[in-house]
């Protein structure tokens, strides 16, 4: 394919920085209503007129790759098309409310959150869901914190989390953040969990095993039931990393496989835009036994109408894990009966917030990435059962079809929505740079390490046959290029090969640092 | 359109025609997609969630109805989630699909646009904080505070393990902090407030050699501007503790520059720029001094050069991060809030320094004038402290829940802090309704 990415600027640089377009210094304290000792003395920032601003960011956008521009088969990232209607829904001005609103006055928000909790629980085969974690890694942290609270509650002395070597880096970092020792599990010869190695690793110290399924090379862990039993027998919990749920939609559910805790990566599976690196959302589902430990508050249907004395509902009608709560921050009239709100309002209520009995507390300042959650809810409603089932069908069909067209070996199979091809004696990172010149984004490279020179590829369901063939062509052309050609690549992108070593060795992390560097070199040449 | 997946009840976003699907299946030697799945019977699911497929128009109409169930109240709410008017051009430009539908810049050559935007965002925060490093986002202010506390654990050579935070801290921040430090050796303790800002004497008593981190906010959760930042910074410094200031980019445009009062780290809610009220979604501001370069959590964009020696940007110092360092990473964060950072930078560049300072100045003047109007009412006292205020302030009344309920009936939302205290937040978005609010308070308290 003929392809040239936009390039603005000159021989030295692309589009100028905001600070190179304008830089205005002023003394904010001058004329301030505040006394001088409370104000800063200077502020120097760019200010652009609206037309200049529009041009600046339009140019930057044109120097950026995106799902809407073409294939973006980053393995493990599920770069689906993000439907426009979901953006439109999320832009509803009625949804743009403050988090401290009295829950009675934001019933629409609670209805959506409750609906999404239910959808996710059903899709994952879980009993209870929190929507608070703002990304997948935050979901992992929440899930492991829940496991830890559960173990502590039951007096279980646990110190280890087992993680397969092929797992995502966030799994390891999360377990360590939660204070656990990480036990790394080598992959079996077939690319799956080595059940014997697991048996050796599992002990009474095992707090949890973190797994993703299909795993990071797309293989289904066929021994999942045996694995679950093994961990459970040792008193451990099974954590499901939901990054790969797209492969399973409608075909298998983590809850049915024996997982106790999972996170959903809604920016992957449920098509919310990745936003250049976020925001995402990482809701967490758990089985009943762990529900009392979830972050607070959660949303539920109001149990009963007011009984007339300001009491919201008969506590005996509630689940053991439910206790009434006032929203944080002193929401208007609160939600607890101390604040004596009117009975009328209570009777109209359908949804309310509550604190799970042994809640781990908060994992986000408020209730998570709301604009992302709206889109996920809209997407699930749009697709319904048939759409979800077709998403996993076409995602898996696409990965298999694409792999069948490649002049590269795929060491492990049968795979589902993604596969790890090997670049063999070529450097996978170089092949990726070569692919950039074909008008596609390359796959994830050099990960997982179990595949040498891995090119972890996940086309998702949104590519059609023709586009997969173009993508295959990019792989095949690039891998056949000579080393010199690959080292010279890319040539058609906004920037040619970027010097990583220079960036790290001499960190220049703001335009202030550029100024200093420039001044330094000017001084040097002046000497 | 017959033959598309959508026409057969499949995913409307899987573009395959029936013929294409057949050809692909044929090439793979299978009859249908189900044959490609390697799922043992024992754990297979029948596909029935009971969720009907709906067309786009229906979903939009349903959700419009859902959100219409929210009461239309004029919000005078803040306490950590602030919204200012966001110009339409920010919505427009940030919604360009080239930004919205891209991901982390693993291939810098083809993602220069977003990298540059993030570099510009970092630079704006460097200017506002006076510190030399800002990352390209944490999830929100709560996560940023928690990450800052963990940073102190990594960089302080002392044996200290106490994190000191104000007693009056938003529950979401305190709760997130408690969870993040739970796996470390740190413990969280509080110091008291006097008159809604730090009680300096009590803080001096609380800080000791075991202190590794001191956190102060300006404005505080009740909107008071902290007058003693430099003294707090000195206290922290004398005990070799890290000094962390919590603020937001609008306040930072006008208030003392954190670096000038000795801040080692600045955290806060950067979504005060660029983000409309969004039910608590945020943008974690994280900036710190150069000495912590190798210990910063999250992503950093740096300037470099490409093969033609032209300026180019790239994610850098990635050996700090989870995908390389695994359990020894500085944080587990991967996906962050990049798109919100893009919007914040756009908004800042739209306002420019005079616009930012003007907005901040309005936050001071409007809060003072609305407080004065309320204070003039019988039985109402505002503010309840002697501080200068930014956007918000506390209000004393006889029956706060009752007053708030009365206000709600009249179409206003305010915070209830306790039986006798309300909190009111004034910004450019609600200031035009402030007279009506004052009149309503007068009515309700009469
Ligand atoms: C397998 C796997 N687990 C966890 C994560 C972390 O998710 P997030 O980036 O949303 O924090 C990712 C995504 O990048 C992933 O691919």
Residue A127's CATH number: 3.40.640.10
Shortest Cα distance from A438 to chain B (angstroms)? 12
Shortest Cα distance from A515 to chain B (angstroms)? 11
> Given CA atoms B59, B65, B66, B70 in this order, what sign does their dihedral have?
positive
Q: Is residue A2 part of a domain?
A: no
pLDDT for position B315: 98
pLDDT band with cut points at 50, 70 and 90 for residue A1 = confident
Q: Is residue A415 part of a domain?
A: no
pLDDT band with cut points at 50, 70 and 90 for residue B45 = very high
Relative to the CA of A280, which ligand 1 atom is closest? 10
Say yes or no for a CB contact (<8 Å) between B280 and A500: no
pLDDT of B63-80, one tens digit each? 999 999 999 999 999 999
pTM for this one? 0.95
Instruction: Assess whether pLDDT exceeds 60 at residue A315.
Output: no
Residue A180 is classified by DSSP as P
pLDDT for position B156: 73
Query: Domain total for chain A?
Result: 1
Instruction: Assess whether pLDDT exceeds 70 at residue A375.
Output: yes
Helix (H) or strand (E) holding A322: strand A322-324
Say yes or no for a CB contact (<8 Å) between A498 and B304: yes
Place of tokens 């809810």: A377
Taking residues B119-148, what's their average pLDDT? 98
B175 contacts in chain A (CB < 8 Å): 361-363
pLDDT for position A527: 37
pLDDT of B305-345, one tens digit each? 999 999 999 999 998 998 888 999 999 999 999 999 999 99
CA separation (Å) from A276 to A500, B108, B115, B311, B365?
20, 12, 9, 21, 37
In angstroms, what is the span from residue A259 Cα to ligand 1's centroid? 18
Could you tell me if A435 and A478 are in contact, meaning their C-beta atoms sit under 8 angstroms apart? yes
Q: Where are the domains of chain B?
A: 74-85+350-445, 88-345
Relative to the CA of A268, which ligand 1 atom is closest? 10
CA torsion, ordered B326, B329, B332, B335, to nearest 10 deg: -90
B111 contacts in chain A (CB < 8 Å): 63-65, 276
Range of the domain at A211: 106-306+358-376
pLDDT for position A516: 62
Taking residues A93-104, what's their average pLDDT? 98
Instruction: Assess whether pLDDT exceeds 70 at residue A236.
Output: yes
% residues pLDDT > 70 (chain B): 98
pLDDT for position A304: 59
Q: How many CA atoms lie within 13 A of B57 on its CB side?
A: 0
| Strand ranges, E, within B195-241 | 197-198, 211-217
CATH T-level topology, domain B88-345: 3.40.640
Q: Is residue A517 part of a domain?
A: no
Ligand 1 pocket check: which of A77, A243, A267, A450 to mutate, most ligand atoms within 8 Å of Cβ? A243
**Nearest-CA residue of chain A relative to B418?**
A330
Query: Is B154's Cβ below 8 Å from some Cβ in A?
Result: no
pLDDT for position A485: 97
Could you tell me if A251 and A123 are in contact, meaning their C-beta atoms sit under 8 angstroms apart? no
pLDDT band with cut points at 50, 70 and 90 for residue A322 = very low
The C-alpha atoms of residue A284 and residue A135 are separated, in whole angstroms, by 10
The C-alpha atoms of residue A358 and residue A344 are separated, in whole angstroms, by 31
Residues within 6 Å of ligand 1 by CB: A 76-77, 135-137, 168, 170, 212, 216, 241, 243, 265, 280, 282; B 334-335
pLDDT for position B158: 61
pLDDT of A328-369, one tens digit each? 333 333 333 333 333 344 445 699 999 999 999 999 999 999
Say yes or no for a CB contact (<8 Å) between B305 and A401: no
Question: Which of B:242-261 have CB within 8 Å of A?
Answer: 252-257, 260
Could you tell me if B176 and B138 are in contact, meaning their C-beta atoms sit under 8 angstroms apart? no
The C-alpha atoms of residue B31 and residue B33 are separated, in whole angstroms, by 7
pLDDT band with cut points at 50, 70 and 90 for residue A374 = very high
pLDDT for position A303: 76
Any alpha helices (H) in B376-426, and if so which ranges?
400-409
Say yes or no for a CB contact (<8 Å) between B301 and A509: yes
pLDDT band with cut points at 50, 70 and 90 for residue A2 = confident
pLDDT of B353-380, one tens digit each? 999 999 999 999 999 999 999 999 999 9
pLDDT of A423-473, one tens digit each? 999 999 999 999 999 999 999 999 999 999 999 999 999 999 999 999 999
pLDDT of B158-202, one tens digit each? 678 999 999 999 999 999 999 999 999 999 999 999 999 999 999
Token pair for residue A299?
Answer: 């949303």
Q: Is residue A143 part of a domain?
A: yes
pLDDT of A115-134, one tens digit each? 999 999 999 999 999 999 99
pLDDT of B77-129, one tens digit each? 999 999 999 999 999 999 999 999 999 999 999 999 999 999 999 999 999 99
Q: Is residue A264 part of a domain?
A: yes
**Nearest-CA residue of chain A relative to B302?**
A509
Query: Is A276's Cβ below 8 Å from some Cβ in B?
Result: yes
Interface test with A, best of B20, B116, B173, B274 (most A CBs within 10 A): B116
pLDDT band with cut points at 50, 70 and 90 for residue B9 = confident
First to last CA, chain A: 51
Q: Is residue A178 part of a domain?
A: yes
Helices A107-124, B56-68: crossing angle, 10 deg rounding: 130
The C-alpha atoms of residue B418 and residue B98 are separated, in whole angstroms, by 47
pLDDT for position A348: 54
Taking residues B205-219, what's their average pLDDT? 97
pLDDT for position A518: 54
Instruction: Assess whether pLDDT exceeds 80 at residue B221.
Output: yes
Instruction: Assess whether pLDDT exceeds 50 at residue A402.
Output: yes
Say yes or no for a CB contact (<8 Å) between A98 and B388: no
Token pair for residue B389?
Answer: 């205020």
The C-alpha atoms of residue A131 and residue A121 are separated, in whole angstroms, by 11
Q: Is residue A163 part of a domain?
A: yes
A33 contacts in chain B (CB < 8 Å): 361, 364-365, 368
Shortest Cα distance from A231 to chain B (angstroms)? 17
Taking residues A19-25, what's their average pLDDT? 97
Kindly report the protein residue whose alpha carbon is nearest to atom 10 of ligand 1.
Answer: A136
pLDDT for position B324: 87
Q: What is the CATH number of domain B74-85+350-445?
A: 3.90.1150.10
Q: Is residue A398 part of a domain?
A: no
């Amino acid at each position: 394919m003929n392809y040239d990415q936009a390039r603005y600027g000159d021989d030295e640089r692309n589009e100028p920085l905001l600070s190179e377009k304008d830089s205005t210094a002023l003394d904010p304290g001058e004329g301030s209503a505040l006394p001088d000792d409370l104000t800063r003395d200077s502020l120097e920032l760019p200010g652009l007129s609206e037309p200049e601003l529009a041009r600046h960011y339009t140019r930057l956008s044109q120097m950026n790759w995106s799902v809407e521009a073409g294939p973006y088969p980053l393995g493990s990232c599920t770069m689906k098309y993000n439907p426009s209607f979901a953006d439109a829904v999320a832009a509803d001005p009625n949804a743009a409310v403050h988090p401290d609103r009295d829950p009675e006055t934001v019933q629409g928000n609670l209805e959506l959150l409750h609906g999404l909790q239910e959808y996710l629980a059903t899709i994952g085969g879980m009993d209870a869901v929190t929507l608070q974690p703002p990304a997948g890694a935050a979901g992992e942290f929440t899930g492991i914190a829940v496991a830890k609270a559960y173990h502590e509650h039951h007096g279980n002395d646990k110190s280890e989390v087992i993680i397969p070597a092929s797992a995502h880096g966030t799994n390891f970092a999360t377990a360590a953040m939660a204070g656990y020792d990480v036990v790394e599990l080598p992959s079996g010869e077939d690319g799956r969990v080595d059940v014997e190695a697991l048996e050796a690793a599992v002990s009474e110290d095992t707090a949890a095993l973190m797994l993703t399924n299909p795993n990071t090379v797309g293989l289904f862990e066929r021994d999942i039931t045996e694995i679950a039993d093994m961990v459970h027998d040792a008193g451990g919990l099974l954590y499901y990393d939901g990054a790969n749920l797209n492969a399973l939609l409608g075909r298998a559910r983590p809850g049915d496989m024996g997982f106790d805790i999972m996170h959903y990566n809604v920016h992957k599976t449920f098509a919310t835009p990745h936003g250049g690196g976020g925001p995402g959302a990482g809701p967490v589902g758990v089985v009943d036994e762990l529900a009392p430990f979830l972050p607070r508050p959660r949303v539920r249907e109001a149990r009963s109408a007011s009984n007339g004395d300001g009491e919201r509902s008969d506590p005996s009608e509630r689940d053991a894990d439910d206790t009434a709560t006032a929203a944080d921050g002193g929401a208007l009239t609160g939600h607890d009966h101390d604040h004596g709100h009117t009975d009328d309002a209570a009777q109209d209520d359908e949804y309310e917030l509550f604190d799970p009995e042994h809640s781990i507390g908060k994992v986000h300042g408020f209730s998570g990435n709301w604009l992302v959650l709206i889109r996920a809810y809209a997407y699930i409603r749009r697709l319904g059962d048939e759409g979800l089932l077709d998403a996993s069908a076409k995602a898996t069909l696409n990965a298999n079809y694409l792999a069948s067209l490649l002049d590269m070996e795929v060491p492990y199979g049968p795979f589902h929505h993604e596969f790890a091809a090997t670049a063999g004696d070529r450097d996978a990172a170089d092949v990726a740079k070569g692919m950039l010149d074909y008008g596609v984004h390359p796959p994830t490279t050099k990960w997982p390490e179990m595949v040498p020179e891995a090119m972890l590829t996940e086309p998702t369901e949104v590519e059609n046959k023709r586009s997969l063939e173009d993508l295959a062509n990019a792989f095949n052309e690039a891998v056949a290029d000579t080393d010199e050609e690959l080292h010279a690549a890319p040539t058609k992108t906004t920037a040619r090969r970027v010097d990583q070593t220079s960036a790290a060795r001499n960190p220049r992390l703001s335009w202030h640092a550029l100024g200093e560097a420039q001044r330094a070199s000017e001084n040097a040449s002046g000497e | 359109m017959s033959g598309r997946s959508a026409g057969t009840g499949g995913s409307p976003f899987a573009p395959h025609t029936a013929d294409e699907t057949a050809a692909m299946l044929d090439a793979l030697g299978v009859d249908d997609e189900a044959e490609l799945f390697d799922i043992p019977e024992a754990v297979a699911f029948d596909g029935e969630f009971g969720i009907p497929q709906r067309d786009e128009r229906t979903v939009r109409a349903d959700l419009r109805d859902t959100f219409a169930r929210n009461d239309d109240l004029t919000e005078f709410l803040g306490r950590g989630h602030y919204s200012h008017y966001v110009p339409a051009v920010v919505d427009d430009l940030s919604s360009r699909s080239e930004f919205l539908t891209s991901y982390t810049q693993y291939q810098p050559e083809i993602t220069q646009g977003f990298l540059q935007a993030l570099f510009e965002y970092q630079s704006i925060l460097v200017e506002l904080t006076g510190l030399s490093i800002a990352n390209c986002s944490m999830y929100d202010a709560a996560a940023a505070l928690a990450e800052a506390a963990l940073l102190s654990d990594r960089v302080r050579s002392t044996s200290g393990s106490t994190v000191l935070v104000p007693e009056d801290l938003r529950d979401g921040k305190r709760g997130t902090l408690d969870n993040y430090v739970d796996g470390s050796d740190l413990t969280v303790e509080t110091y008291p407030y006097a008159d809604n800002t730090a009680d300096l004497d009590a803080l001096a008593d609380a800080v000791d050699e075991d202190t590794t981190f001191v956190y102060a906010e300006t404005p505080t959760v009740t909107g008071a501007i902290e007058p003693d930042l430099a003294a707090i910074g000195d206290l922290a410094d004398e005990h070799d503790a890290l000094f962390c200031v919590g603020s937001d980019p609008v306040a930072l445009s006008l208030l003392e520059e954190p670096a000038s009062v000795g801040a080692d780290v600045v955290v806060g809610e950067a979504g005060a720029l660029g983000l409309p009220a969004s039910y608590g979604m945020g943008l974690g501001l994280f900036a710190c001094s150069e000495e912590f370069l190798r210990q910063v959590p999250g992503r950093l964009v740096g300037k470099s050069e490409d093969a033609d020696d032209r300026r180019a940007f790239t994610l850098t110092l990635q050996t700090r991060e989870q995908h390389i360092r695994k359990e020894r990473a500085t944080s587990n964060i991967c996906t962050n809030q990049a798109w919100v950072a893009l919007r914040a930078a756009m908004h800042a560049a739209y306002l420019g320094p005079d616009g930012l300072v003007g907005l901040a100045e309005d936050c001071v003047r409007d809060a003072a004038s609305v407080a004065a109007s309320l204070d003039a009412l019988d039985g109402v006292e505002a503010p309840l402290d002697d501080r200068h205020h930014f956007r918000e302030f506390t209000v004393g009344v006889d029956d706060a829940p009752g007053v708030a309920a009365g206000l709600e009936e009249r179409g206003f939302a305010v915070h209830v802090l306790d039986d006798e205290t309300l909190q009111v937040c004034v910004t450019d978005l609600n200031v035009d309704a402030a007279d009506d609010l004052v009149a309503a308070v007068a009515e309700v308290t009469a």
